[in-house]
Amino acid sequence: MIFFLAFFLSFIITAVFVPFTIRLALKYGLVDDPKIRPHPAHFHKVTIPRAGGLAIFLGTISSVLILIPVNSQILGIVVGSTILLLMGLIDDKVRTFNPYLRLMLLFLAGTAAVFSGIGISFINNPLAHFLSLPEPFNSTILHLDKIVIPIEFFGSRNIILFADILALLWIVTLTQVINWSKGVDGQMPGITLITGIILGLLSFKFYLEGDFNQLNVAKLSFIVAGSSLGFLLFNWYPAKILPGFSGSTILAFLLAVLSILSGAKIATASLALAIPLIDFIYTVWRRILSGKSPVWGDRGHLHHKLLDLGWTPPQISLFYIAGSAILGSVALFVETQSKFFAILAVAIFFVIFILWINSFSVLSKQSGPDNG
C-alpha cells in the first residue's frame, strides 16, 4: 500500500542521513555545548550534535517530491521547510539567534504556505448548539472565505483575508507549540510520530469515504510519521543528536499544514497535541503575568516540572507519546463538538495538575536566549 511506502521511505532516508548529519555537525561546530550555550531549560551535561533538522528535511522533502505530484501547495511546503532549515542551521551555529527574529522567520515560512493556497476556509463552531449567538456566529460552520482581495504578484492571485490570516496564525502557533516540546530526549519526535499517524488515518478514512483529494494528504501524513521515527531512533535517551530549531519546526510546520488541508483535522490535531498545546498556552500566560517576554525560555514547562519530581527523560517522553496516542485515538471516533469539550477537559486537568506539582517543584527564575 502506498501509505506504508510513504512511511518507510521517509523513515529509511531520515535514518540513513542522521549519522551523516552527526558527522557534519561535529565537523562544523553545530553542537550543543552546555559550557558555551548555557540555557536554564537544558539538562544535558555533555556536548551533543545539533542540526537534526537536516536529516529530517532530507527525509521528508525527498519523499514528498518522489511520492506526491508537485503543485503550488507542495512548492509552498518545500519553500517554507527550506526557510526553517536554513534558519535552524544558522541558529545551531551562532548559538544566540534572537527569538524575535526566529518568530519573524516562522511567519515568513508560514506565509510561503499560505501564499501557495493553504488556507482555513471554514471552521466548525462547537458553541452554536449551546449559546444564543448573534449572526453570523450562530451557525454550526463559520465560513472564512467571504472577503477576497485580488492581487498581482507573479501572476493573478487572491488573498482570502480571514482564511489566510487564521491559517498563518495556526501554522506559527503550532510550530512554536512543538518546538517548545523538545525539552527531553525523544519527546518531540515521539509526539510528531503519533500525530502524523493519527492525521494519516483520518485522511485515509476520508479517502475511503470518497474524498480522493485526501490521498496525497494521507501520504504526507505518513511521510511525517516515518521521518519522525527515523530521527527518534537516534534522539531517544541518551540522545546521539538533537533536533535543533530546524528539526522541530519542520515537522511542526508540516503537521500544521496537514491539519489545514482538511478542516476537520484542526480539531483532531489539537486534541492529539492537547498536552503540549495547553502547556504552551499556560507558559505564555505565566510569563506574561510574571512580566517576562513570552518567547524567552525558562525552566517552567511541564517536562521540567516532571524532571523536578524525579521523572526520567524516557518516562517523560513516554508520557507525552501515550497522551498523544490516547487523545488522538479519541479524536478519530468523535465529532468536532466532542473534540472541543475533550480539549477543555484536558485543559482543566492540566491546570489542576500543574498547580499540584508546583507544590513539589520550584520554578527557575532564570531566562535565556532560546525561545522555548
Which pLDDT tens digit goes with each residue over 176-185?
999 999 989 9
Contact present, 28 and 7 (Cβ < 8 Å)? no
Going from the C-alpha of 349 to that of each of 180, 262, 338, the distances in angstroms are 20, 29, 16
Out of 31-35, 38-42, 81-85, the most confident range is 81-85
Residue 194's φ and ψ, nearest 5 degrees, are -65, -45
* Bigger pLDDT: 191 vs 352: 191
Determine the average pLDDT of the residues in 213-238: 96
Q: What pLDDT band is residue 73 in, cutting at 50, 70 and 90?
A: very high
pLDDT digits 0-9 by tens, 142-190: 667 677 776 655 555 666 778 889 999 999 999 999 999 998 999 999 9
Grid coordinates representing 308 are: 523536578
Global pTM value: 0.88
Residue 363 confidence class, pLDDT cut points 50, 70, 90:
very low
Q: Write down the pLDDT at residue 198.
A: 95
DSSP string, 152-201: ESSSEEEEEHHHHHHHHHHHHHHHHHHHTT-SSTTHHHHHHHHHHHHHHH
Mean pLDDT of the chain: 85
149-158 — which CB contacts under 8 Å span 24+ positions?
Answer: 157/115
Domain boundaries, the chain: 2-122+160-357
Cα-atom radius of gyration of the chain, to the nearest Å? 20
Cell numbers linked to 262 = 482538511
pLDDT tens digits along 255-292:
999 998 865 588 889 889 999 999 999 899 989 988 88
pLDDT for the residue 92: 85
pLDDT of residue 349: 82
125 in a labelled binding site:
no
pLDDT at position 32 over 60: yes
Report CA 162 to chain centroid distance, whole Å: 22
